[in-house]
Amino acid sequence: MIWWWIRRTLYLSLGRNLTRKRVVPITTVATVTAAAVIASKKFDSENSGQDKQSKEVMADNSTPSVCKYSKMWGFSNPFENWREPNLMTVVKWKTKYTNETNLPEDKKILDEKLPVLTPSFKPNAHNDVCVTWIGHATTLVQMDGVNILTDPVFSDTAGPSICGTVVGDKRYRPPACKVGDLPDIHAVVISHSHYDHLDSQSVHDLHERFKENIHWFVPKNLKSWFTGCGCRKENVHEMDWWEEKDMPGHPGVKLAFTPAQHWSARNIVLDKNKTLWGSWCVIGPKHRFHFAGDTGYCEAFKQIGEKYGPFDLAAIPIGAYLPRPIMEPQHVDPAQAVLIHQDVQAKKSVGIHWGTFALAYEYYLQPPQDLKKALEEKQISEEEFFVLKHGESRNVSTEDGQSKL
């Protein structure tokens, strides 16, 4: 059973590299698996050394978190509660815990519980901050005359293409619209390379539609992936944590790439952690938006709040968090999402990263239910930290249309 699962995982994770070989010989799998386990052990031991340094750095909470990089092992989180996921983590997850997603087979029930609305995009008014949830981590944020898309994924399946077929997590709720239905998009922010956040077909379609008018803000070491998809190199802005760049064509709007506690990979064995991950701050002349991406809870969010807050809006993940012993380092639960909301000093937050792909083991409707409980405990209103229906929009502008900076 375990060997079957390891074979399947490696087959899926190696993706395009195996397109010419439908069957992976068991000896190859064993060798690669052994190498992966040794690699992850070595990585962990290297990290433990780095952790000591990080703790010293983080002892002074005002020092911004810095992501370490080594050519051999890629990037590593500097946070003390980080634990690197490895093959054993996955084996433990799949053998020890019960999947309680309980997705209904009847589509009518899904349509009733998680309706997908057709978005009605409004023209971007300079005094408004408006968010539309397209699904999972894909949102359209319209503020200060700029339309920003976060982690655009419009495909049915999040995973690698094998022999022309995309294999991976199939979405159980469709995207609220297609790329062709979007208003003009000026900027796209990408949190990291995982398939549920970075989809080659969606990038291709957005590039085909908007060409030189769309700017891609991407984590360090991902630029070549985007130029490989056909994006113009002048339009791809690769950034490190705490780096800032002005948005071309929109004076007064800048973007900052900020930390998150996560990891990256599109084929695990070959490119694990070779590209950076993180969160984004969009700072306009009147408003500010924070996109937390995909993250475990870490002290960096307080630093982000101190440096760039308060934010008019934050988009914070609330799903894919059970079982906690497996998911905690990389995915916040709703209570921790509320902590991030407070740490970054968000006036309003929207819960994302739920209701679309079944990535973890919680009941599929549990994220908003647990968010409600966490908000009640902190006496925060559901208007302050809300969830949207797929395709639903909300204008979160302050009354005078101004951020209180």
Of 141-149, 186-194, 368-376, 385-393, the window that binds Zn ion (rule: CB under 5 A) is: 186-194
Please work out the total of residues on this chain that contact Zn ion, with binding judged by CB under 5 A: 3
Nearer to Zn ion, 103 or 163 (CB): 103
Of 186, 194, 215, 223, the one binding Zn ion by CB under 5 A: 194
Does 347 contact Zn ion by CB under 5 A?
Answer: no
Round to whole Å and give the CA distance between 168 and 161. 9
CB of 262 to Zn ion, least distance (A): 6
CB of 75 to Zn ion, least distance (A): 13
Does 272 contact Zn ion by CB under 5 A?
Answer: no
Nearer to Zn ion, 238 or 294 (CB): 294
Beta-sheet strands, E only, within 337-391: 349-352, 385-386
Q: Are 231 and 203 spatial neighbours (Cβ–Cβ below 8 Å)?
A: yes
Nearer to Zn ion, 7 or 331 (CB): 331
Does 333 contact Zn ion by CB under 5 A?
Answer: no
Nearer to Zn ion, 196 or 328 (CB): 196
Of 74-103, which residues contact Zn ion (CB under 5 A)? none
Does 362 contact Zn ion by CB under 5 A?
Answer: no
Token pair 């984590």 in the structure block, residue: 219
Q: Are 90 and 360 spatial neighbours (Cβ–Cβ below 8 Å)?
A: no
139 strand-pairing partners: 133, 150
Round to whole Å and give the CA distance between 401 and 299. 30
Q: Are 209 and 179 spatial neighbours (Cβ–Cβ below 8 Å)?
A: yes
Of 104-112, 140-148, 207-215, 289-297, the window that binds Zn ion (rule: CB under 5 A) is: 289-297
Round to whole Å and give the CA distance between 195 and 180. 21
150 strand-pairing partners: 139, 189
Nearest to 315 by CA among 286, 277, 346, 358: 346
Nearer to Zn ion, 54 or 273 (CB): 273
Of 84, 144, 196, 333, the one binding Zn ion by CB under 5 A: 196
Of 141-149, 152-160, 190-198, 303-311, the window that binds Zn ion (rule: CB under 5 A) is: 190-198
Of 193-201, 210-218, 232-240, 397-405, the window that binds Zn ion (rule: CB under 5 A) is: 193-201
Token pair 């914070």 in the structure block, residue: 316
Tell me the residue nearest to Zn ion as measured from the CB. 194
CB of 196 to Zn ion, least distance (A): 4
Of 144, 199, 205, 294, the one binding Zn ion by CB under 5 A: 294
Q: Are 292 and 319 spatial neighbours (Cβ–Cβ below 8 Å)?
A: no
CB of 271 to Zn ion, least distance (A): 14
Rg, the chain, Cα only:
20
Nearer to Zn ion, 19 or 99 (CB): 99
Q: Which residues bind Zn ion (CB under 5 A)?
A: 194, 196, 294
